[in-house]
Amino acid sequence: MPTGNLTSPHNVPIVKVLVVVPFFCIFLYCIVLMLYIFASNRHFMDSTRYVLFASILVNDTLQLLTSVLLFFLAVGQVRFPIVFCAPLLFFSTATFLNTPLILATMSLERYVAIMYPLQCPPVWRPDRVWIILLCLWLISCVLPLVDFSIGETRPGVSILSTPIYCSTVILNSSPVQTLFKVSLNGLFFAAVALIILYTYIRILLETKKMRQDRASVSKAMHTVLLHGFQLLLCLLAFTNPISEHLLVLHANWFPDDIYFFNYFCFILIPRFLSPLIYGWRDKSLSDHMRKATLCCSRALRSRHKVKQSP
């Protein structure tokens, strides 16, 4: 989600940058490593589950790139017209909403794999799952489009020329727009939570019926639970108003410091942890990541020795 103005005259903005940049660099390194493994090992992309996971990696990377860019613009107090700000906020919101949709789809994929192991519907095959992903992107893009279209521009603000701080507050000024956004987010995440809960219960009931291959069913059940945890991490972004209110009551923090605290703890960290937990939990993927990391370290050492040799 977009950030507001995160700077204040009572602190040094470079400290905030030095806090955010290392986390983002580590995240980006791990994501690039996993995507490289997917691209260099064809058998991963022959599985629908890994295709969906690769898509959520790309989506979260785009979301964090946009979010960190908005953070840097806020720290630098850069102002520019709405015509340039709106696409950034739109892309940040669309990728933010797309994550829970992909999580729900991944849970449904596990449900289909367990319930219909020999009669998998064609749309769930690895070569056709892009149809589902395209539909998810359309849904996640339509919602912010409707949200922005019902907004009202503030008096005296020109879309093409008036420089502003790039924040959702600028584009979400209408009471109707606020009501639409709150109601839509509530229904949106409730629907995703119900899908994940439904798939978990059905897989749990299936374990009682199946006498063989309990290991794969149990693994699928744990995977759905992990998707529920990832959804919970996404929902932390909506605790901003509550946390801001509590911090204002119990701490003498400046508003901009509170915005930064919320951004780091409830937006950046959950997006940082969610794909990494899933990636390291998968044994096959984690083994490839360790091998790739060892190969890279060995290559760097050999290059270093070559440079040092006369």
What pLDDT shows up at residue 285? 82
Domain range enclosing 21: 13-285
For the whole model, what pTM was predicted?
0.82
On the CB side of 131, CA atoms within 13 Å amount to 8
Segments of the chain scoring below 50 in pLDDT: 1-11
pLDDT digits (tens, 9 = 90+) for 19-55: 888 888 888 888 888 888 888 888 888 889 889 989 9
Q: What separation in angstroms does the CA of 13 have from each of 20, 29, 72, 226?
A: 11, 24, 10, 36
**Assigned domain for 290 exists:** no
What pLDDT shows up at residue 141? 92
**Assigned domain for 218 exists:** yes
157: DSSP letter: -
What pLDDT shows up at residue 100? 87
Taking the C-alpha atoms of residue 13 and residue 211, their distance in angstroms, rounded to an integer, is: 60
Are 53 and 106 in contact by the 8 Å Cβ rule? The answer is yes
What pLDDT shows up at residue 106? 87
Burial class (CB in 10 A: 0-12, 13-18, 19+), 180: middle
Taking the C-alpha atoms of residue 200 and residue 194, their distance in angstroms, rounded to an integer, is: 10
**Assigned domain for 222 exists:** yes
**Assigned domain for 300 exists:** no
**Assigned domain for 306 exists:** no
CATH number at residue 201: 1.20.1070.10
Other Cβ atoms within 10 Å of 242 Cβ, number: 11
Other Cβ atoms within 10 Å of 94 Cβ, number: 22
Are 221 and 200 in contact by the 8 Å Cβ rule? The answer is yes
Are 105 and 134 in contact by the 8 Å Cβ rule? The answer is no
**Assigned domain for 24 exists:** yes
